[in-house]
Structure 1
Amino acid sequence: MATSEYATTLATLRAQRAAQPLSILSLAEPITTSQLPAHAQTPSRISDTLSTATEADSSLPLTPATLTADLSHYKDLFSKLRFSYLEQVTKEKYLRSIVGDPPLLVSHEDNLALEEKLAVMKANLKQMKEDVDTLVGEMEERARDVAHAYEGVSEGLQILEEVPTEIQDLRAEVEQLQEEIKARRGQEQGSSDPRMQMSLAATEQALMEQKERNAEIDRQIAELQKQLPGKVREVEKMDRELTELERRRNESTRLAVEGRRRREEGGRDEMEELGRWNRASESVMKGLLWVEG
């Protein structure tokens, strides 16, 4: 059901796209295919100017760069045509005014009136040009938006056209994976590991017990981590005590070696005398305090 609806939707989108093509493509077609008519009767200077229009290569692809180049070319072309036309019309009027019967004479007042009329027309033309430029800018902005939207729609339609093939490939891959899983399960059934023969309920129970053991281990690890700072301090304290004991041992060893050396040399043993004095002092103190030794 879903496949048929997808195909119907895709066919509807294709039909709508074919029924309503983008107008800008149709508008751009005459730019690349137009040719000047062969029966056009123009003066020599105008024909020379128009002959440059046939030099454009109509086989170029439609891109913003080519369209901009064509627009600049045609603007320059029509500017030259306008100049040639005004020149020819001015010459024609001048000749007619001279050879007419009676000749057409223009006074200074007529020139002033024409200049005033021309100034008004120039102001109106300038305003119209500004309006046209504004409209052209809005049209260009709108054309860019439409072009981006058209590209998005085209990409989306292409993706939609590729989706059915990708779905079929994924289904084939899923079926292949299912076959591999079935084959592996058949191999595992002959395995000597008893855990591979467990039922689903037994497997879930074993998994739960393993999770409980892991939780207990994690709890013990957390407890040991809490005790770790205290143990570290105890070890540091024992290291300090060990260092002090080693220092005392080295000092005692040094004194013992020094005393032995003095005894061997027949000298005076200060440590032994000090020990005798301490023992005598201890005996006197015990006698004074009536302490039994």
Structure 2
Amino acid sequence: MPRTPAKGKATEAQRATKVLKALDDLQSGHEMTIIRVSEPISSALQNADAPNNNARTSDVSNASLDAPTPASLEADLAHYKELFAKLRFSYVEQVTKEKFIRAIVGDPPLIVTPQENADLEASNFEAKAALKALKTEVARMVAELETRARDLAARWDRIQLETATLRELPAKMAQLEAAIAGLKKKQPGMGLGEDGEQQQQQQELNMPLAKTAALVDSRQMQLRELDRQLEQLSSQAPRKKKEVERLQAELGQLEARRVHSTTAAREAKRRREDAQGGVQDDLEAKGRWFRATEQVLVDVLDAKV
């Protein structure tokens, strides 16, 4: 059975409420911020510094813990890399000095042959090559992780924007429904002879998106055809206007001739009625001649008296 409009609206409202509730639950349980991501690091550092409050920490780390941001985290990472490089150099130097001193003061002293040096150099070369390959792989992984992180951040921002838009949709839908109801109330009633047109309009309003788009395309095509015809008629209008002006000028001349001939004929008729004898016959002959002339002009010029 087809569902009623009230039931359909209630179902859509319930679905919108469920979607918003699911979004709230999802966002409340999966909040992603720079501060929450940095909590494990900051908590570990605070626990390590808790036994010795007088331990010295760098200014960069203190600033990053106060207000962690992407820029501060990058600066902190660069700072720690520099410290680690210095520490590694100091460690290697200290260990080398210690081994050298033990080799000298040992009993018996440690004597290294050239072959052992060559073997150690070869093993160091292999270890350096392996370490370089590992560094390259780690750099590639870090670059990939950075790219993925930026992509996820962009997607997160987009999801936040779409979520905000989705939250505004129910209110907008309610406003649109209220506006549609008001327009339906304001729409005047149609006569019985317009039932077919009203049904067609109602069917067009209830069509799906694909058919509506096709109908819009056909109407736009008809509008373009009408515009083309209007343009053609507009281009022909000046020529037609000149032709009408020429015909009006010719008609004015013919009208003047007709008035002149009519006046002459009336004058001849009056004279014939007033005259007597041969003069009357002469005027009658002139009247017949004028009438014949008028008839010839009418036939030639296609004018009506």
Separation in structure 2 between the aligned mates of residue 11 and residue 158 of structure 1, nearest angstrom: 13
Match of 1:2 among 12, 25, 28: 12
1:201 is the counterpart of 2:191: yes
Match of 1:142 among 128, 131, 148: 148
Separation in structure 2 between the aligned mates of residue 40 and residue 96 of structure 1, nearest angstrom: 36
Cross-structure match for 1:82: 88
1:154 is the counterpart of 2:160: yes
Return the TM-score normalized by structure 1.
Answer: 0.52
Cross-structure match for 1:247: none
Alpha carbons 1:33, 1:58 under 8 Å: kept: no
Match of 2:69 among 62, 69, 81: 62
Runs of 5+ in structure 2 lacking a partner? Answer: 1-10, 196-231, 250-305
Alpha carbons 1:32, 1:58 under 8 Å: kept: yes
Separation in structure 1 between the aligned mates of residue 113 and residue 60 of structure 2, nearest angstrom: 42
Distance change in 2, residues 1:225/1:199 (3 Å) = farther
Alpha carbons 2:103, 2:110 under 8 Å: kept: yes
Bigger Rg, which one: 1
Map residues 93-242 of structure 1 onto 2, 5 A cutoff: 93-167=99-173, 170=175, 174=179, 178=182, 200-201=190-191, 229-233=239-243, 235=245
Q: Structure 1 counterpart of 2:18, which letter?
A: T
Report the number of matched residues: 202
Shift of 1:117: 0.9
Larger RCO: Structure 1 or Structure 2 (Cα < 8 Å, ≥ 6 residues apart)? 1
Cross-structure match for 1:274: none
Cross-structure match for 2:24: 14
Question: 1:2-49: per-residue Cα shift (whole Å, max 9, x none)?
Answer: 2222121222233334445559875433455553734899xxxxx98x
Cross-structure match for 1:279: none
Shift of 1:237: 9.6
Separation in structure 2 between the aligned mates of residue 8 and residue 34 of structure 1, nearest angstrom: 40
Distance change in 2, residues 1:85/1:69 (3 Å) = same
Alpha carbons 1:98, 1:104 under 8 Å: kept: yes
Among the aligned pairs, what percent are the same residue?
32
Shift of 1:154: 1.8
Shift of 1:135: 1.6
1:91 is the counterpart of 2:101: no
Separation in structure 2 between the aligned mates of residue 142 and residue 19 of structure 1, nearest angstrom: 22
Question: 1:172-207: per-residue Cα shift (whole Å, max 9, x none)?
Answer: 9749x949x88xx9xxxxxxxxxxxx97429979xx
Distance change in 2, residues 1:203/1:72 (3 Å) = farther
Separation in structure 2 between the aligned mates of residue 82 and residue 139 of structure 1, nearest angstrom: 26
Counterpart of 2:66 in 1: which secondary structure? coil
